[in-house]
């Protein structure tokens, strides 16, 4: 009896030695695979002990068990041991976990079958190293998800089983000759040429045979198995790219740029697709992969049909609109699970409505003689556009890294500051005449054009609607905004300081329970020398009669004296 070491053995349980039986349970299968043990199948597909014993097994006592069910064989073994005097005590019942067929009342028995495999590195150190190298070559978004891939590849202990015994699926395109006794010759399969594919061996006939020879001695049979789901879906890039049917298209699209998918199928869909591309083409199927998380219910449990906690989106779309639901979805950071939250959907709806209202205001201010950057001459306007240029750079960088959430957050934060601060600061000037008013209106329209294009991937409908009010074509075919479209010589600090000062003026009015339209007789701004060039806009927006700006080393402060109520 050979004694073998394995990590699953429990030295302090019983004798510390586990009997290995191929195959009694899943642990036995693990030992058989990892210790490379010989296969000794006893139970056949009919659930009975085989007529002949496995190789290297004495046939004497086994003859008493051949053909019996597992239950009857167990009973007969006890009888034989008792008759020979080798039974120590009497059998006693024990409780243990046993797997059952889901629609039956009998325990499952593991039997041996012929199956198809693809080598994936589970039993070949060289292929495993190649698969790890492919994982390192792939650009991961977010980067830490690569660890799941590496852990999976390093933990493989068997090749990829791709055949299934089901009715539906892509058939294994292989036949087998039958010898003179009608037994399949598995060692010499009949494989169709590449030009003959696709093939269904259950209805198609191999070259050199006729249908009348199917199932007859000296004839052939088709392989009865179909491919596993992952064995076919792992060819998604090739199928979509016209592999083997459109060489021009395939040459232009393969390898692709991106595979988007959830993080829970890195080990199945992503890894399987990498394996197939590596073995067939010697390359990755795509350069980047972006991993999403799960949608969680309010109890932080994964939504799934089996749990019955799925919320279908149709009612949400009707109540809040598609843009609002897309906003919530885009708020889920790549690789992170996201809780279902109608509150976040409502925020998205408010944002879409705000875009409509702000756009109506901007476009309703009057005609603009020149919408180009050259018409923007006021310092505050150029400061706003310079700030927006930074938003464009950040959002573009985020999208290029497939971080759509960061791009949305950066754009949305600027948009609300644009509405709350800048619009209020330039409102009075924009309603006027002359170059100063034209500068404000040109800056507002320029910013609106850029913001609509930044929001378009997440809020496609509201941005398309606004775009149609004043532009030809679709916002979704317009060029992505670039910083070069905007004046870059403005000082973003001017907008930041002026906006902060305006917020403090509003705060003073709010604390005094006064209207935002209340007049301010005097205000002193300290610690923001930079906003001197925007002094007229701040005075107009805050309704300040006497505005003083003093240089000070401390942080920005505003001293406000409200005018007496009339």
Rounded-to-integer distance, Cα 51 and Cα 148, Å = 46
SS (H, E, C) 94-106: CCCCCCECCCCCC
Is residue 289 within 8 Å of residue 270, measured between CB atoms? Answer: yes
Give pLDDT, residue 255. 97
pLDDT band of residue 200 (cuts 50, 70, 90) is very high
Average of per-residue pLDDT across 251-280: 95
Average of per-residue pLDDT across 191-207: 93
Closest CA to 164 of 236, 103, 229, 221: 229
Whether the per-residue pLDDT at 211 is higher than 90: the answer is yes
Which residues make beta-bridge pairs with 296?
A: 302, 339
Q: Does domain 338-490 have CATH number 1.10.730.10?
A: yes
Q: Other C-beta atoms within 10 Å of 284: how many?
A: 21
pLDDT band of residue 27 (cuts 50, 70, 90) is confident
Whether the per-residue pLDDT at 417 is higher than 90: the answer is yes
Phi, psi of 289 (to 5 degrees): -140, 135
Whether the per-residue pLDDT at 9 is higher than 80: the answer is yes
For the chain, the average pLDDT equals: 90
pLDDT band of residue 226 (cuts 50, 70, 90) is very high
Parallel, antiparallel or unpaired: strands 175-178 and 220-222: antiparallel
Whether the per-residue pLDDT at 542 is higher than 90: the answer is no
Q: Where in the chain is the domain with CATH 1.10.730.10?
A: 338-490
The sheet carrying 286-292 orders its strands as 139-141, 286-292, 256-262
Is residue 329 within 8 Å of residue 292, measured between CB atoms? Answer: no
Rounded-to-integer distance, Cα 198 and Cα 201, Å = 10
Give pLDDT, residue 64. 87
Give the chain's radius of gyration (CA, Å): 36
Whether the per-residue pLDDT at 70 is higher than 80: the answer is yes
| Strongest mean pLDDT among 2-16, 30-44, 45-59, 162-176 | 162-176
Parallel, antiparallel or unpaired: strands 295-296 and 220-222: unpaired
Whether the per-residue pLDDT at 182 is higher than 90: the answer is yes
Is residue 76 within 8 Å of residue 68, measured between CB atoms? Answer: yes
Whether the per-residue pLDDT at 393 is higher than 80: the answer is yes
pLDDT band of residue 210 (cuts 50, 70, 90) is very high
Whether the per-residue pLDDT at 311 is higher than 80: the answer is no
Specify the higher pLDDT residue, 302 or 265: 265
Specify the higher pLDDT residue, 514 or 175: 175
Rounded-to-integer distance, Cα 21 and Cα 30, Å = 11
The per-residue pLDDT for range 96-153, each reduced to its tens digit, is 788 887 777 878 888 888 899 999 999 899 999 999 999 999 999 999 999 999 999 9
Give pLDDT, residue 565. 76
Is residue 354 within 8 Å of residue 411, measured between CB atoms? Answer: no
Rounded-to-integer distance, Cα 20 and Cα 509, Å = 82
Whether the per-residue pLDDT at 24 is higher than 80: the answer is no
Give pLDDT, residue 444. 95
CA distances from 395 to 91, 387, 457, 492 (A): 72, 13, 11, 17
Whether the per-residue pLDDT at 450 is higher than 80: the answer is yes
CA distances from 301 to 263, 298, 308, 328, 334 (A): 16, 7, 11, 18, 18
Tallying the residues shown for the chain, one arrives at 566
Is residue 267 within 8 Å of residue 152, measured between CB atoms? Answer: yes
Query: Treating both helix axes as pointing N-terminal to C-terminal, what angle do 492-511 and 379-400 enclose, rounded to 10 degrees?
Result: 110
Rounded-to-integer distance, Cα 386 and Cα 493, Å = 10
Give pLDDT, residue 349. 95
CA dihedral 70→72→75→81, nearest 10 degrees, is -80
Q: Name the E strands within 326-376.
A: 338-339
Is residue 81 within 8 Å of residue 74, measured between CB atoms? Answer: no
Parallel, antiparallel or unpaired: strands 286-292 and 256-262: parallel
Give pLDDT, residue 522. 87
Query: Does 198 sit behind a cis peptide bond, omega within 30 degrees of 0 on the bond before it?
Result: yes
Q: What distance separates the 2 farthest-apart alpha carbons in the chain?
A: 116
Lowest mean pLDDT among 8-12, 131-135, 194-198: 8-12
Q: Which two tokens stand for residue 300?
A: 């932080």
Lowest mean pLDDT among 59-63, 210-214, 383-387: 59-63
Whether the per-residue pLDDT at 199 is higher than 90: the answer is yes
Lowest mean pLDDT among 140-144, 176-180, 471-475, 501-505: 501-505
Give pLDDT, residue 302. 81
Whether the per-residue pLDDT at 305 is higher than 80: the answer is no
């Amino acid at each position: 009896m050979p004694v073998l070491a394995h990590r699953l053995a429990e030295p302090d349980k019983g004798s510390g030695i586990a009997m290995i039986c191929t195959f009694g349970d899943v642990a036995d299968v693990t030992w058989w695979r990892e210790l490379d043990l010989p296969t000794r199948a006893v139970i056949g597909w009919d659930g009975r002990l085989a007529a002949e014993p496995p190789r290297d097994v004495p046939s004497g006592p086994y003859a008493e068990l051949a053909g019996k069910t597992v239950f009857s064989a167990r009973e007969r073994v006890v009888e034989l041991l008792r008759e020979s005097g080798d039974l120590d005590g009497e059998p006693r019942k024990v409780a243990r976990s046993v797997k059952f067929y889901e629609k039956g009342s009998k325990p499952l028995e593991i039997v041996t079958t012929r199956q198809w495999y693809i080598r994936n590195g589970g039993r070949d150190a060289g292929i495993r190293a190649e698969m790890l190298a492919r994982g390192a070559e792939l650009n991961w978004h977010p980067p830490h998800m690569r660890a799941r891939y590496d852990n999976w590849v390093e933990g493989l202990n068997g090749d990829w089983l791709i055949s299934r015994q089901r009715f539906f699926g892509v058939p294994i395109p292989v036949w087998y000759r039958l010898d003179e006794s009608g037994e399949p010759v598995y060692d010499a399969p009949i494989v169709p040429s590449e030009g003959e594919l696709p093939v269904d061996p259950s209805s198609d006939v191999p070259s050199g045979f006729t249908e009348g020879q199917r199932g007859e001695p000296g004839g052939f049979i088709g392989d009865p198995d179909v491919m596993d789901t992952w064995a076919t879906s792992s060819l998604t890039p090739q199928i979509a790219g016209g592999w083997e049917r459109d060489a021009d298209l395939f040459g232009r699209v393969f390898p692709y740029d991106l595979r988007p998918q959830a993080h829970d199928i890195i080990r199945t869909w992503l890894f399987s697709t990498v394996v197939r591309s590596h073995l067939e083409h010697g390359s990755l199927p795509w350069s980047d992969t972006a991993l999403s998380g799960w949608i969680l219910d309010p109890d932080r449990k994964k939504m799934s049909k089996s749990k019955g906690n799925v919320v279908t989106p149709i009612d949400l779309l009707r109540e809040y609109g598609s843009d609002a639901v897309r906003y919530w979805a885009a708020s889920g950071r790549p690789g992170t699970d996201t809780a279902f939250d109608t509150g976040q959907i409502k925020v998205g709806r408010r944002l879409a409505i705000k875009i409509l209202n702000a756009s109506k205001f901007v476009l309703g201010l009057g005609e603009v003689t020149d919408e180009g950057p050259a018409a923007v001459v006021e310092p505050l306007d150029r400061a706003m556009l310079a700030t927006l240029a930074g938003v464009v750079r950040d959002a573009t960088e985020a999208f290029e890294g497939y971080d759509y959430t960061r791009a949305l957050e950066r754009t949305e934060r600027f948009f609300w500051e644009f509405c709350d601060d800048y619009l209020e600061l330039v409102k009075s000037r924009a309603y006027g005449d002359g170059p100063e008013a034209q500068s404000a209106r040109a800056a507002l329209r320029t910013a609106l054009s850029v913001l609509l294009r930044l929001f378009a991937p997440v809020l496609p409908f509201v941005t398309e609607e606004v775009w149609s009010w004043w532009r030809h074509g679709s916002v979704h075919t317009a060029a992505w905004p670039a910083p070069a479209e905007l004046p870059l010589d403005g000082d973003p600090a001017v907008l930041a300081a002026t906006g902060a000062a305006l917020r403090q003026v509003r705060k003073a009015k709010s604390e005094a329970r006064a209207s935002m339209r209340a007049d301010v007789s005097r205000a002193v701004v300290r610690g923001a020398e930079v906003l001197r060039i925007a002094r007229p806009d701040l005075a107009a927006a805050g309704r300040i009669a006497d505005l003083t700006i003093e240089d000070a080393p401390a942080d920005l402060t505003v001293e406000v004296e409200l005018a007496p109520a009339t």
